[in-house]
Amino acid sequence: MTVKYQEKPLKIVGTRPLRPDGVDKVTGRARYAADYNLPGQLIGKVLRSPHAHARIKSIDTSKAAALPGVKALVTRDDFADMPVEYAASGELTINFRDVTRNMMAREKVFYDGHPVAAVAATSASIAREALKLIKVEYEVLPHVIDVLEAMKPDAPLLHEHQFTDGVTPKPDKPSNVAKRMVFALGSLEEGFKQADLVIEREFNTKPVHQGYIEPQACVASYTEDGQVELWTGTQGHFVFRAQLAKVLQMDVSKIRVTATELGGGFGGKNNIYNEPLAIALSRKSHRPVKMVMTREEVFRATGPTSGANVKIKMGCTRDGRITAADAELNFQAGAFAGSSVGMASMCTFTRYDLDNVRVVGNDVTVNRPKVAAYRAPGAPIAVFGVESVIDEMARKLGIDPIDFRLKNAAKEGTQTYYGPTLGPIGFVETLNRAKAHPNYRLPLGPDQGRGIATGFWFNIGKETSSTVHVNEDGTVTLIIGIVDVAGGTRATMAMMVAEEFGIDYDKVRPVVGDTSALGFNFITAGSRGTFAGGMAAVLAARDAMEKLCRRVARIRDVPPEAVAWKDGRAQPAEGSGTQFKPMSLEEIAREAGRTGGTISGHSEINAEGAGPGFGTHIADVEVDRETGSIKILRYTIVQDVGKAIHPAYVEGQFEGGAVQGIGWALNEEYVYGADGVLQNPGFLDYRVPVASDVPFIDSVIVEVPNPNHPYGVRGCGEVPIIAPMAAISNAVENAIGVRLREQPMSPPRVLKAIEAAALATTQD
């Protein structure tokens, strides 16, 4: 379902009111999952594998069970094995056979931190003591951490049953390559023949964690009549409910999930981890069970996104027209298949209008935690390679990097290599606005440089439902099923509903309903919140307004078609020739009970027509040649969002995405020892940027309306993380003439590259 965009004068949409969750958050009243407590609750803790790869020979929990204060223990024996069955979870696809093995190891452990057993006890310290008493006998197996190593035929094999999918004929030997995919358009051979300049390069990136501030937490209560209540930090409580019903073999109706305030997710809270364990422990102990991860557990066992090896080969004519584009993306999936390589493959070149394209993607299992979605999953990795090569081409040909991109830019009508033809998009507009921005012309000092890069993300719609209740005093309660992942979703939904009704923003109270309040809502992923959630909320409001008009027709005794909703009131419809005294929302609400009952509006839709988002970034850096340290001097983001419902929250998305991209580019990486054990599971040594690492970010909002949304909204939250790695790398090259094709560009890596370049120059 889509709702067509209609241009109209706006009173509330486009303004910057305070968010309804803001005061609670700054005063500490907001309740995150770890703030929920139930009478008689136990504390659950997880025993995790100390090995990267091992067969579990036996698990003996008898001593732990005998410890006073221990009320329940679970291992693989407490969960059903699941057959291969796929489901969508955010942008990525999950397989329940793997889900059940990831939440609790069965035959083998596949990574340092893989859960092996869980215990519930009357205190955290007793639970920790109990873990020490569980005896697990392992047969340690050879492990593999690196993606290229894992692809070798003689690499240690994770899954004996895994044969590379997408290869014909079907391979006769199992492999760590779970799947190979190819996207193609035109003829590469022809394309490279037409090229005057061909550049082929290889790039490597490290896995990075979503780095949400709030570790995973949940409280579960399983009652004697088989009902479950669960409070958890999630991006999608309906999707969690579905996954839990499956792995616990329960009816969906028996599980009620409340999504608590969320301290960040970024794709990392699309998947269940402790939830099924907490429910199983509660079922066994007959007590509520609370489980809160430590930061170490978050790093060892959740997220991250893939590390990858990327090969890019592109050809262009002397005047800068790209004639051929070829890519190979090798992505770490972690312990189980299902990385974001498919999404990345589709995003690799989709900013340009190209005739001859091929992208090959490989999804590779390695002995690391199973990857999760992370903000525009996979796209930044592929784009880093492509935008670096384009920068090199533009430099070699002496063409301005923005002009080079303008020559090749995708527009409305561009045929993509992965299928669809693009509708109205704002990519060219972002390039033009970036070129005209004063920051693009600021002079640079010694060892300073400027880099350009661009990003594209699909954005999605999907199942969404919403309800508006007109309260007895004329205020409105808006119930949404989109989890507010802290980006301001409640505020933007309320703004659109207030705009529809023609009432003040503060008359609408938006609430995220639990899973019993609404029909199924897909997870908050794919930048769908404001697009799909907004569409559902608008339709629910329109449904209510229609009912309000019908009610007024009855009260005023006029035909229903003679009543129209305008400026917050039911008024005589234009041209109907009928006259009656208009009624305000407040007046109707006051009489509603006596004239037919309360009025509510509903919508249950599958939102379609999400508008793709495009952005252009300008990064200015300064490099310390003696230490290899990179300082970001300025950062400018120009992005088409269709329509900014709340511009401040759009800017928040731009800034947040860019900062995460800067972290990816500069210092974030997992450090594994030779034993396959993670050495830096904490924020001290896993270095996300701190405030002083990032400059003030200049945001430019471009608005090319999405024709398939009532207010023209496209998604905006994911595009901003795509370009930073490439933009910063291009800026470094511009500053010191050294190109880094490996991320992160940490000081030791930069210094080494500077020295290698100096050596190469002297040898020349």
Partner 1 sequence: MLASHRLSLAWIGRGVEIERKFVPCTIKKGSEMIEMRYEAPRTLKAAVALLAAANGRAKVLAGGTDLLIQMRSGRIDPELLIDVKCIPELRTIAEEKGGYRFGAAVSAMELVEHEGLARMWPGVIDAVKLIGSIQVKGRATVGGNLCNASPAADSVPALVAAGALARIIGPGGRREVPVEEIPAGPGLTSLRAGEMVVSILLPKRPQRSGDAYLRFTPRTEMDIAVVGAGVNLTLNAKGVCSRARVSLGAVAERVLLLPDAAAALIGQRVDAAALERLAAAASAACRPIDDKRGTKEYRIKVAGVMARRAAQIAVKRAKGEV
Binding residues vs partner 1 (CB under 8 A): 67-69, 123, 125-126, 128-129, 626-629, 666-667, 671, 679-680, 684-685, 687, 689-690, 692-693, 746-748, 751-752
- The residue (of 125 and 595) whose beta carbon lies closer to partner 1 is 125
Minimum CB–partner distance for residue 44 and partner 1 (Å): 16
Minimum CB–partner distance for residue 294 and partner 1 (Å): 9
User: What single letter denotes the amino acid at residue 44?
Assistant: G
Cα(357)–Cα(192) distance, integer angstroms: 10
H-only helix segments in 8-95? 22-27, 62-66
**Cβ–Cβ < 8 Å for 297, 91:** no
- The residue (of 126 and 697) whose beta carbon lies closer to partner 1 is 126
Cα(461)–Cα(420) distance, integer angstroms: 16
Cα(608)–Cα(3) distance, integer angstroms: 9
Minimum CB–partner distance for residue 213 and partner 1 (Å): 14
Minimum CB–partner distance for residue 675 and partner 1 (Å): 14
Beta carbons within 8 Å of 652's beta carbon, 6+ residues apart: 487, 488
Cα(600)–Cα(498) distance, integer angstroms: 15
Token pair recorded at residue 210: 């979503």
Cα(672)–Cα(416) distance, integer angstroms: 39
Minimum CB–partner distance for residue 222 and partner 1 (Å): 24
Cα(400)–Cα(403) distance, integer angstroms: 5
- The residue (of 87 and 690) whose beta carbon lies closer to partner 1 is 690
Minimum CB–partner distance for residue 627 and partner 1 (Å): 5
- The residue (of 113 and 615) whose beta carbon lies closer to partner 1 is 113
- The residue (of 226 and 673) whose beta carbon lies closer to partner 1 is 673
- The residue (of 407 and 752) whose beta carbon lies closer to partner 1 is 752
Beta carbons within 8 Å of 70's beta carbon, 6+ residues apart: 64, 119, 120, 121, 126, 127, 130
- The residue (of 546 and 624) whose beta carbon lies closer to partner 1 is 624
**Cβ–Cβ < 8 Å for 208, 305:** yes
Token pair recorded at residue 476: 């409105």
Neighbour-count burial for 264-294, b at 16+ CB within 10 Å, e otherwise: bbbbbbbbbbbbbbbbbbbbbbebbbbbbbe
Minimum CB–partner distance for residue 99 and partner 1 (Å): 30
Minimum CB–partner distance for residue 437 and partner 1 (Å): 26
- The residue (of 142 and 673) whose beta carbon lies closer to partner 1 is 673
Closest CA to 478 of 463, 491, 488, 460: 491
Minimum CB–partner distance for residue 694 and partner 1 (Å): 9
Question: What percent of the chain is helix, strand and coil (3-state, nearest 5)?
Answer: 30, 25, 45
DSSP codes, 40-59? T-EEEEEEE-SSSSEEEEEE
Cis previous bond, 707, omega within 30: no
Closest CA to 302 of 558, 678, 725: 678
Token pair recorded at residue 673: 């020892």
Minimum CB–partner distance for residue 130 and partner 1 (Å): 9
- The residue (of 67 and 88) whose beta carbon lies closer to partner 1 is 67
By the 10 Å C-beta count (0-12 exposed, 13-18 middle, 19+ buried), 57 is classed as: exposed
Closest CA to 166 of 314, 303, 359, 307: 359
Minimum CB–partner distance for residue 27 and partner 1 (Å): 17
- The residue (of 276 and 628) whose beta carbon lies closer to partner 1 is 628
Minimum CB–partner distance for residue 278 and partner 1 (Å): 21
Cα(55)–Cα(590) distance, integer angstroms: 68
- The residue (of 10 and 671) whose beta carbon lies closer to partner 1 is 671
- The residue (of 447 and 608) whose beta carbon lies closer to partner 1 is 447
Cis previous bond, 710, omega within 30: no
By the 10 Å C-beta count (0-12 exposed, 13-18 middle, 19+ buried), 1 is classed as: middle
- The residue (of 97 and 128) whose beta carbon lies closer to partner 1 is 128
Closest CA to 701 of 405, 430, 427: 430
- The residue (of 514 and 668) whose beta carbon lies closer to partner 1 is 668
Minimum CB–partner distance for residue 242 and partner 1 (Å): 36
Beta strands in 78-163 (DSSP E): 86-89, 92-95, 108-109, 115-121, 135-140
Cα(621)–Cα(635) distance, integer angstroms: 9
- The residue (of 186 and 747) whose beta carbon lies closer to partner 1 is 747
